[in-house]
């Protein structure tokens, strides 16, 4: 499927698109209303070229739908008796979204996720240490476990919420071939092994690190630190609860994530301001929009993901033909500082590039209403474990502020935090943006 040429993919997608539209018209009052409001009937939505005629579905619409008809919303398009599984989003951008799955939907999730894990280098028979959270119904938990079993790999089900000690014990006892988790947590795990056990995780012989769920895996400096810490190859993946678990994944070329589920999801790239569709050409940027084309319960149609990406390629030596991307931010995370759009991952990238002068840990302090401010950007940057010999602390602070201004056209006010004082990653995703300055002694 991933190696099909563009014409074959389009034919399959359009056949399934017609089936999905007919299904929604018959089973989804939510989308019946949207189609009718746009003056559309099923006959008007037969090809991919017809998609731009359909209004976008937004995250807020889905939240409103969930509140109007709990537990799965007005957009549930299958009988409750057919629902065999449910999952929840992390709720980091608002209330959690509860998503329903029929047996067919669950099989699609397993298939797309297994393809993605395979693209990232996990193979049948591999032992895989589970470093995502296994609790709270998040898709990084049970659905990843299911996908690994479906692939034929052995999941070691400790989870980030099982704690660093148990994860490290399992790692040294069972010698996993691969580890899945968030990038910040996997780096923390390697550092904890040295600090708490006096052992280097490189001795484990882990072959693959498969990361997702937060920025970091696509940031070159941070990626290098994690790979060096483990002596393993890192590949990034991406998905979302509203569509599936994983449907973007990075191959051995390590130059971006391929769409791995074109038979289940139609993907568009749009200008985030105008909503106009853009072609997937190398270097193009935009927001991803998704349409489910093989979904029964909780389907979404032209769903604005909020994921802002750059297209890193349109071909690959691995044989996959879907475009490759890197995600550089989300609409929900973007700040507007004196009229300049700023993604936290861009700041993280710059700070990471200053290691080992600093530790690499940074937090943006957005102590204002909404996402826009006319004040300088407030940054909390953690100092290195040793004081730089060639820079005083005031000079280090100035160097950071100069780099931010030069690269991002934003004036920053930097506070330096003592090494180890910024909260370490755990079961939850790392939040680069804080709404209030944390209480930390020794800020300079």
What CATH number is attached to the domain comprising 344? 3.30.300.30
Let me know whether 324 and 339 are in one domain.
Answer: no
- Residue where a domain terminates, one of 266, 298, 332: 332
Let me know whether 185 and 314 are in one domain.
Answer: yes
In the chain, the number of structural domains is 2
Let me know whether 288 and 145 are in one domain.
Answer: yes
Let me know whether 271 and 340 are in one domain.
Answer: no
Predicted local distance difference test score (pLDDT) of residue 118? 98
- Classify residue 284: in a domain, yes or no: yes
User: What is the spatial distance between Cα 380 and Cα 439, in angstroms, rounded to a whole number?
Assistant: 11
- Classify residue 200: in a domain, yes or no: yes
DSSP 197-251: H---GGGG---EEEE-SSTTTT-HHHHHHHHHHHTSEEEEEEEETTTEEEEEEE-
- Classify residue 439: in a domain, yes or no: no
- Residue where a domain terminates, one of 332, 360, 382: 332
207: CB partners within 8 A, 6+ apart: 121, 177, 178, 232, 233
- Classify residue 441: in a domain, yes or no: no
Let me know whether 279 and 378 are in one domain.
Answer: no
Range of the domain at 399: 335-434
Let me know whether 92 and 111 are in one domain.
Answer: yes
Kindly report the pTM of this predicted structure. Answer: 0.88
Tokens 């998609």: give the residue: 51
Let me know whether 325 and 341 are in one domain.
Answer: no
Predicted local distance difference test score (pLDDT) of residue 30? 96
Let me know whether 346 and 248 are in one domain.
Answer: no
Let me know whether 375 and 411 are in one domain.
Answer: yes
Let me know whether 384 and 417 are in one domain.
Answer: yes
Let me know whether 323 and 357 are in one domain.
Answer: no
Predicted local distance difference test score (pLDDT) of residue 215? 79
Let me know whether 324 and 404 are in one domain.
Answer: no
Q: Quote the distance between the C-alpha of residue 299 and its chain's center.
A: 20
Predicted local distance difference test score (pLDDT) of residue 349? 87
Predicted local distance difference test score (pLDDT) of residue 96? 72
- Classify residue 184: in a domain, yes or no: yes
- Residue where a domain terminates, one of 302, 332, 362: 332
CATH of the domain at 322: 3.40.50.12780
- Classify residue 442: in a domain, yes or no: no
- Classify residue 440: in a domain, yes or no: no
Paired sense of beta strands 178-181 and 358-365, if any: unpaired
Where on the phi/psi map is residue 427: left (φ > 0), alpha (ψ -120 to 50), or beta?
alpha
CB 90 within 8 A of CB 336: no
User: Among 16, 7, 6, 15, which Cα is nearest to 299's?
Assistant: 16
Chunked mean pLDDT (size 10), the chain, 444 residues:
95 98 97 96 96 96 93 96 90 70 98 98 98 88 97 97 95 98 94 93 98 89 95 97 95 97 98 96 97 97 96 95 94 85 88 91 91 90 79 90 91 93 75 90 85
Q: What is the length of the chain?
A: 444
DSSP 381-414: EEEPSS--TT--HHHHHHHHHHHHHHHHS--EEE
- Classify residue 426: in a domain, yes or no: yes
């Amino acid at each position: 499927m991933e190696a099909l040429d563009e014409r074959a993919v389009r034919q399959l997608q359009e056949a399934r698109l017609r089936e999905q539209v007919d299904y929604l018209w018959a089973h989804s009052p939510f989308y019946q209303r949207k189609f009718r409001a746009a003056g559309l009937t099923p006959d008007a939505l037969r090809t991919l070229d017809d998609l731009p005629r359909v209004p976008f579905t937004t995250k807020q619409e889905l939240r409103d739908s969930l509140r109007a008809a709990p537990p799965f919303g007005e957009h549930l398009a299958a009988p409750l008796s057919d629902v065999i599984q449910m999952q929840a989003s992390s709720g980091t951008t608002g209330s959690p979204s509860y998503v329903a799955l029929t047996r067919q939907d669950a099989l699609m999730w397993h298939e797309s996720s297994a393809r993605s894990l395979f693209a990232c280098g996990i193979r049948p028979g591999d032992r895989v240490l589970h470093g995502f959270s296994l609790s709270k119904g998040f898709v990084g938990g049970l659905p990843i476990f299911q996908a690994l079993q479906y692939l034929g790999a052995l999941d070691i089900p400790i989870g980030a919420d099982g704690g660093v000690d148990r994860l490290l014990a399992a790692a040294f006892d069972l010698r996993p071939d691969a580890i899945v988790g968030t990038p910040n947590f996997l780096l923390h795990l390697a550092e904890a092994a040295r600090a708490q056990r006096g052992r280097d995780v490189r001795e484990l012989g882990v072959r693959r690190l498969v990361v997702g769920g937060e920025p970091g895996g696509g940031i070159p400096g941070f990626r290098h630190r994690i790979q060096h810490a483990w002596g393993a190859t890192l590949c990034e993946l991406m998905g979302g609860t509203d569509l599936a678990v994983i449907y973007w994944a990075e191959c051995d070329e390590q130059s971006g994530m391929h769409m791995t589920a074109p038979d289940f999801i139609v993907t568009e790239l749009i200008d985030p301001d105008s909503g106009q569709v853009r072609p997937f050409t190398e270097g193009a940027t935009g927001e991803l929009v998704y349409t489910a084309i093989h979904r029964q319960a909780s389907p979404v149609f032209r769903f604005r993901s909020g994921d802002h990406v750059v297209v890193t390629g349109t071909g690959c030596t691995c044989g996959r033909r879907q475009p490759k991307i890197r995600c550089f931010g989300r609409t929900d995370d973007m700040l507007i500082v004196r009229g300049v759009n700023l993604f936290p991952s861009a700041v993280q990238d710059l700070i990471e590039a200053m290691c080992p002068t600093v530790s690499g840990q940074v937090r943006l302090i957005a102590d204002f209403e909404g996402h826009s401010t006319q004040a300088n950007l407030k940054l909390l940057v953690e100092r290195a474990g040793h004081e730089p010999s060639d820079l005083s602390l005031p000079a280090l602070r100035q160097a950071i502020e100069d780099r931010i201004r030069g690269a991002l056209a934003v004036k920053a006010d930097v506070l330096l935090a003592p090494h180890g004082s910024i909260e370490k990653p755990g079961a939850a995703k790392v939040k680069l943006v804080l709404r209030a300055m944390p209480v930390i002694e020794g800020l300079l």
